Amino acid sequence: MDVVAFFTEILKFRSITPDDDGCLKFIAEFLGDFEARFIEKNGVKNLILSKRFGDGAHLAFAGHVDVVPPGEGWQSEPFTPLMKDGFIYARGAQDMKSGVAAFVCACRDAKNFNGRLTLILTSDEEGDALFGTLEALKILKERGELPQFAVVAEPTCTGVFGDTIKVGRRGSINGKILIRGVQGHAAYPEKCVNPVHQIAPLLSRIAGHDMDAGSEFFSPSKIVITDIRGGMEVCNVTPSELGIMFNVRNSDITSADDVKNYLQSVLEGLNFELSLKQSSKPFLTDKDSKIVRAMSKAVQKISGVAPQLNTKGGTSDARYLAEFGVKVVEFGVINDRIHAVDERAGVKEVERLYLVFKELIENFA
């Protein structure tokens, strides 16, 4: 079974988070000469596949088989792959069964590799992701089998296949500010403590504020306000409190403590509460590391494109690998329809992605 045929088969599984719908078992049987370890926790299924070829480097490929719900308005049934005009349409085509198919087939066909290959697959990346890749990594660490290097096959390319390798990701800090005042009649403002009036002259120091100047691979860590609300939606009563919600996509330069300290200094003198939650941490893999150099070389050889290295986008399971000290990059097909109606991946992209991973494995000395 070639990579396109395998890709088409795994697209048929209705693997909506966290149900893998049998997809992981199918993959384990496909790689029958790899040692398989199934892990299930809190309704999440994970699969670790591993094979030792020699005593060299330990290289892993990681990905997820779960997908988001398809929604309405598709031109075809979302879990019945449609091949049309050089594309395959199905939910999960870009995010990320194309990547899974490519590295599964590349690992199956690996011959000239003097080390260990490991595949880490989960049914919970699109959800809370608490018992997916993270759980698999904990088990690998307990067994002393953590990989040195890893590739997460998320869709990374933007315009043409081969144009982007992700070497890191920004973190995400969610925050809430609650400013307390004294409610009263709008006709007697001197008897009120109006939190709206209190925050108004300070808002420009919060909204859109850059916590740092950015770096070679990261944009500035900006405070982005996502919600402001207070009052009872009437014109003659001042609010007793005002709530502000915000998010900071932070680089490795700015921490949650930096955000906390800055906001406390801005809001000094007000009666306020501030809560922060770091939902994901930033990471950056050295551009001169073995995995970045090898991946760049493989991509350029197969695609003819010199890939750019960046950290744009949201979060992925690559952050968990980085937390465990694994040198990790992300590379996959073009990302232009993930989570959308009529999600699709180019047939030639999937074939070339397989060749990129095969090239990486064969030359990862």
Q: Catalytic one among 20, 21, 125, 359?
A: 125
Output the CA–CA distances (angstroms, integers) from residue 235 to 165, 182, 199, 232, in the order listed: 53, 16, 19, 9
66 tagged catalytic: yes
Give the whole-angstrom CA distance, residue 341 versus residue 362: 37
Distance between CA atoms of residues 127 and 138, nearest Å:
19
Contact 95, 16 (CB under 8 A): no
40 is catalytic: no
The active-site residue out of 66, 317, 330, 349 is 66
Cα–Cα distance measured from residue 150 to residue 279, given in angstroms and rounded to the nearest whole number: 22
Beta-strand relationship, 241-250 and 87-89: unpaired
Q: Where are the alpha helices (DSSP H) in 209-317?
A: 256-266, 290-303
Tokens of 186: 């709008």
β-pair type (149-152, 327-330):
parallel
The residue type found at 186 is A
φ/ψ of residue 96, rounded to 5: -140, 45
List, by residue number, the catalytic residues: 66, 125
